[in-house]
Every structure is written in C-alpha cells, then in structure tokens.
Amino acid sequence: MRPAPLCRAALILQLAWSPAARANSFLSDSLLRKNPVHNVLDHQPARNVDCKNSIPTGPIETTLCDYETVESVNDRLFANLHDLVQMPFFKYFQVDLYRECPFWSDDGSCSDPGCAITSVDESEIPEKWRASALSRLEGSKIDDRHELPGCYYRDSDFCFLDDNTEGDYYDLSRIPERYTGYSGPDAARVWRSIYEENCFGVSELNLLSGPNPALVSLPDTMSEPFRLEGGGADGGQCLEKRVYYKVISGLHASISTHICAEYLNQSTGEWGPNLQCFINRVASHPERLQYIYFNTVLLLRAVARIGPYLQAFDYCSTGNHDDDTETLAKLSNVISIAQSAGRFDETVLFRGEDANILKEEFKVHFRNVTRIMDCVGCDKCRLWGKIQTTGVATALKILFELDEKALDPAANHNLLQRSEVVALINTLHRFSESLEAVEDFREMWKATSAAEGEKLIVEAERSAAVAASSRPRPSPAAGQEQDEKRLDFVLARWLRVCKESTVGCMGLVVAMWRRGMAALASLFTPSGKERGPSGFEL
C-alpha cells in the first residue's frame, strides 16, 4: 500500500530539508562516512511507521521498500519464522556435504570440534521425504535437467541441486549457525572465489562512489531512478550490477552477523554475542548492513509472489494433520508480512536486446557460487552455505524465471523441490534473525562507556589494517590449477549448449565477444574490484 499523499509529501520534504539527518545515519549514501560505527549502533529502528517519525531513514536502494517498513515488521516476521523452522517440514534438510570441490583439490578441512555436525538417521524422517520416495517422484517429473555427479540443474535454476541419490539428513534446529573456528587463508579463499564470480566486476567502491539514485522518495517503479542514473541500456545494466553484488555481499554480511552473535569465548568456554567481532566485520562498513535489508526485501518479495503455491503445499508428516495446520498458520502469517514489505519490482531487470544473454551469465555465475560451497572445509559452514545459497537462488528463480501461469499451484504443483522450499524459508529466517541480532548489538553498545567504545573502534581499525597488510597473494600454481578447472567446467557447458541449440551457442559466442570487448575497455578504466571485499572473513 502506498503512503497517503500528505504523508508522502511530508516524508519527501523532511528528507529534502534535513540532510544532516541522513548524513548521521548508517543509511548515508557515501562510502566514506564519518563515524560509521556510531551511525550503525546508535541508529534507532522504526517500530510504528507513520508521518510522526522525526528522523526518516528512507528507501532501500534498488527496491520499492523503505527501512522503516522492514524494521517495523521484523519482530513479527522473526517470531513466526522462528516457530516455522522448528516444524518437521522445515527443519529436516537432505544434502550431500561430501562432493568433490570442482575448483581446487585441497579443501582446507577444519579440524576444530565446532565444525563437526551430526546427521539424522533416515528412520527418523517421515517416509514421504526420504531419498527413495523423492527419487521416484523426481524421476518422473524432471526431464529437462542437466546432470553432474551427484547434482543437477534445470535451465530455470540459479543453483545446483542435489539429486537425492546420496547425502544425509540433518535436523537444522539442532545445528545453529555460529562461530566454528574456521578462518584464515582457507576461508578467505572461498569468499575470494565467490566474489570473483561477480560477472560484472562491481565492488563496494564503485557501487557506492556514485550518488544514490533514490534519495528522497519511493518511486512507483525501479526503472525510473536507474534510467536517470545511466540512461538507456546502461542504466538497466547498472541495476543488474547492483542487484548481483548486493545479493552476494548481503549474504556474506548476514553470515558474519550470525558468527558474531553466537561467538565462543575462548577464555570462559561460553557462547554469546561478541561486539568487537560485529564492529570489525559489519558495523565499520554500514553498506553491509544495508545489503542485509536489501536481501530481506528480495526474499520477502519471492515469498509473496509464490505465496499461493506455498499455501497449497503438503506439509503433513505425522498423519494427523496437526503439524500441517500449525505449519500453514505460521506460514500464512509470514506470507501476509511478505505481501506488505516485499516490495521489489523484478520486471525492470533483464530487459532489452541483451536481456537473455545477461540473465544466462547471471545464472551461470550464481550456479558456480553454489558449487563453491562444496569447497568449504567446515561441515557446519558448508551446510549453512549450501542452504542459504540455495535459498537465495530459489528466490531469484521465482522472481526472474517463473511467470504467473507457472506460479499457479493447480497447473504446476511440482514447481519447486521440497529442498528449495525448505531452503527459501530457512534463508529468510537467517536474514530476519540477523536484523534481530543487530538490535542486540545496539543494546550492548548502549551499555558501553565512551572510553570502551573508543577502544572497540580503535581495535577495529587496527584489525582492518593488519588484515589489509597480511592478505596473501595467490600463488601462480594455485591460480593456474583453479583457472584450468574453471575452464574445463565452462568448456563442458559450452559443448552441451552448442550440441542442443544453435541459437544458444551463438548467444554464448556473442556474450563472450562482448565480455572480451568490455575486458579490453577495462584495461583503461579501473573498476574498483582490485579493492575487493576488504575486511570480510568467514
């Protein structure tokens, strides 16, 4: 629902005439902010959204939603999601954690006890969700999938999915996402590879160095502000650049928030929030918190769009339908919230003459991100990495691949695999819980003296400087091995596409030619990617 005209006008005027309010907010559009940690931790989230808010926070860039809306609904959203992911349907997840890493031979396995997880015996899983039953169903309904050892993807997928012939079941309610001790060069290599799958070459530096195209008001559609920024096709491409980078960076920031929220105190052996960790990894880079909001809106839009399909899904596991009724009640609450806060206009992306080529490139790179999860050396990290990349990929498929006819549960009741539905809801829960955790860190910050706060900030600056100076350069041999495996992977895909479709083959040739020309041009125009995702760790 749009705000009333008077309310909207008041909001615009207040933002237009109060630049100081925005300058002192973590929502400032400049990369070089003054006192970024204070801006993040001193921010007071909105609880009741109306014209009486004294310091408006404004729109979430590249969405049709605002920060106040997300902040005002997140308590209810998190409460319903937290109950929902405890239900049998959403807490049991089957996954193969032991597929070979396709990009390098050494997976840097974590030996810390915090990395270990325990699977659930299949006898504890309702029969309809067991591997044998799922395999029988999928064999008859999936005839367009492209298979790799242990996994597959369909043309509409943004990720690789397990084929259910192997893998174990895990009770996610017993495996919290938290600090594991998995860090250092091995973890850094995983994230570096993920950011290298950024097919547009955009980074925090060049994403935020330009002006925010939607400073003072919520547009009726996302196309207008981005048309104003770049004009024509360039403006449209800018939107895809921003969306891709924000998806990756927001996922990283959310995972970092969870690690800091449940951190192991090595001295006492107790688990609890670590404010220094949060300042180092998120609060000192406010744009990362913005991306958590962005991903939350994107996931909410996907849930809202596929709401009728989700409500028609069979969640019954015990036979008495009590769990089915309770699951549907909680899910209906989540869908209702998603319909009010999930305002993202997916129709303005992937438009124009190169739309299909651009979307295919987007999909190929995000599929590779999901395969990089097989290279994570920590079992617990790999589990949650697979779940969340699958959840985000499912949201992207819902938004950019499925039309209204496909979303009709009566016409297409096998639209999503159970694993995709479970991953989507659990991933939304992860982001909602991240926003809840930020509130806990703000309470800790309030209880911190000025002197203690200054020490935390100084330590964050020191840590960032040390990380920047000690960041290892990849060895030529390791880089060559990884490049060769990526080349083999890409060539195999090219051969398959060219064998199946002359048009598709020509599309890939054109796309490669365009990328070659863009790479040549980039030799003379620094992209900012050389700065990388500074300060990010697993």
Lowest mean pLDDT among 31-35, 43-47, 156-160, 193-197: 31-35
In which residue are the tokens 């199946």 written? 500
Q: How many residues does the chain have?
A: 538
**234-247 pLDDT, tens per residue?**
444 467 878 888 99
- What pLDDT, on a 0 to 100 scale, did the predictor assign at position 221? 47
Q: How far is CA 38 from CA 61, 366, 397, 448, 459, in A?
A: 22, 34, 37, 12, 15
Does any domain span residue 114? no
Tokens of 128: 């309809």
Query: Residue 260's pLDDT is what?
Result: 96
At how many degrees (to 10) do helices 286-305 and 322-341 cross?
120
- Whether residue 381 lies in the annotated active site: yes
- SS3 for 207? helix
> Does residue 375 sit within a domain?
no
Please say if the pLDDT value at position 494 is more than 70: no
- Reference 222, options 198, 201, 199, 242; nearest CA is 242
Set 159, 381, 498, 505: catalytic member: 381
For range 273-288, the mean pLDDT: 94
Answer yes or no: is 159 within a domain. no
H or E segment and range at residue 145? strand 145-148
Q: What is the pLDDT of residue 58?
A: 63
Give CA–CA dist 46/72, Å, rounded. 6
pLDDT of res. 53: 40
Q: 184: left (phi > 0), else alpha (psi -120 to 50), else beta?
A: left
Interval 170-181: pLDDT, tens: 999 999 999 888
pLDDT of residue 16: 37
Name, of 157-166, 220-229, 360-369, 469-478, the range with top average pLDDT: 360-369
* Residue 127 resides in a domain: no
DSSP letter at 118 equals: -
Please write the tens of the pLDDT for every residue from 372-403. Answer: 999 999 999 999 999 999 999 999 999 999 88
pLDDT digits (tens, 9 = 90+) for 76-125: 999 999 999 999 899 999 998 888 888 887 656 777 888 889 999 888 88
Categorize the per-residue pLDDT at 45 as very low, low, confident or very high, splitting at 50, 70 and 90: confident
DSSP string, 458-489: HHHHHHHHHHHHHPPPPPHHHHHHHHHHHHHH
Which own/partner pairs from 353-362 qualify as long-range (CB within 8 Å, at least 24 positions apart)? Answer: 354/233, 354/514, 356/507, 357/507, 357/510, 357/511, 357/514, 358/237, 358/240, 359/400, 360/507, 360/508, 360/511, 361/199, 361/511, 361/515, 362/158, 362/199, 362/240, 362/244
CA distances from 538 to 20, 293, 457 (A): 35, 20, 20
**Residues in contact with 123: Cβ distance below 8 Å, sequence separation at least 6, in sequence order:** none
pLDDT at res. 125: 83
Q: Where are the strands (E) in 296-339, listed by range?
A: none
Beta-bridge mates of residue 151: 148, 162
- Domain assignment present for residue 162? The answer is no
Q: Show the domain range for 230.
A: 5-46+57-84+184-348+388-421+436-531
Report how far residue 104's alpha carbon sits from residue 98's, in angstroms, rounded to the nearest whole number. Answer: 14
pLDDT-derived band at 513 (thresholds 50, 70, 90) equals low
Structure confidence by residue, pLDDT tens digits, 7-38: 444 333 333 334 444 455 666 555 556 788 88
pLDDT of res. 353 = 75
Instruction: Grade residue 69 by pLDDT with cuts at 50, 70 and 90.
Output: confident
What domain count does the chain have? 1
Q: What is the pLDDT confidence band of residue 300, given thresholds at 50, 70 and 90?
A: very high
Q: Are 396 and 130 in contact (CB under 8 A)?
A: no
CA nearest to 463, candidates 252, 279, 289, 287: 279
pLDDT at position 109: 75
Q: Could you tell me what percent of the chain has a pLDDT over 70?
A: 66
Mean pLDDT of the chain: 76
Strands 145-148 and 161-162: unpaired
Q: Where are the beta strands (DSSP E) in 192-316?
A: 263-264, 271-272
Q: Give residue 230's pLDDT.
A: 41
Is 365 among the domain residues?
Answer: no
Span 411-437, pLDDT tens digits: 777 788 889 999 999 999 999 999 999
Residue in 434, 141, 438, 423 with CA at minimum distance from that of residue 302: 423
Q: Which of 260, 378, 498, 505 is catalytic?
A: 378
List the structure tokens of 347: 């129709």
Looking at residue 266, what is its pLDDT? Answer: 85
At which residue do the structure tokens 């105190």 appear? 265
> 155 or 462, which is more confident?
462
Cβ pair 180, 380 in contact under 8 A: yes
Query: In a 10 Å sphere around its CB, with 0-12 CB exposed, 13-18 middle and 19+ buried, how is residue 514 labelled?
Result: middle
**Which of helix, strand or coil describes residue 39?**
helix
Establish if 490 belongs to a structural domain. yes
Catalytic residue status for 159? no
- Residue 422 vs residues 69, 395, 455: alpha-carbon distances, Å: 25, 12, 42
